Amino acid sequence: MTTLFKTMIDRYNHAAYTHHYIWGFKFHDVIYMAHTDADMMPYICKLDKASRGAGMALRFCPKTEQKIALLPYATALCSAEYFEDVKASDKYNYGEVFEKLVTEYYGQTWIKDNVPFTQDGDITVNGVAYQIKFDRATFCNEKSLANLTK
């Protein structure tokens, strides 16, 4: 693990409201949701170039072996075909569609919001707040982390 990668994970977790995650990914034509805590981040996230000159970004981009590692923590949410149908009939991106489907899975009504990760999770289930991330999601970039300390 590189120093920058570890530093970004540590700084993100220091600022985060919750350290519980619901990870979404497609595996064998099924969309899964896996529940873990932040300890899983170094194994399933990566550093990538951020857009618009914001340095490097911390992203959830699991490869096949990482998806397999998440399966013991996962529940099938829906078929990939259904997920794509919902996405096609909606104005939202993949991450937002996943968040909506997870919220509905738990019998809650989804409302798109922009609550910062420092103030709340995306969903609360049985008193536990979770951040929801779907494949290719960006957590933060170097510029956004620097702005947290200003």
CB 32 within 8 A of CB 79: no
Q: What is the pLDDT of residue 24?
A: 98
Q: What is the pLDDT of residue 150?
A: 57
Give the residue, 120 or 146, on which the prediction is more confident.
120
What mean pLDDT is reported for the chain?
94
* Residue ranges of domains in the chain: 3-145
Would you state the structure tokens that stand for residue 112, as one six-digit string?
């798109």
| Of 141, 146, 148, nearest in space to 51 by CA | 141
In tens, the pLDDT along 10-61 reads 999 999 999 999 999 999 999 999 999 999 999 999 999 988 888 899 999 9
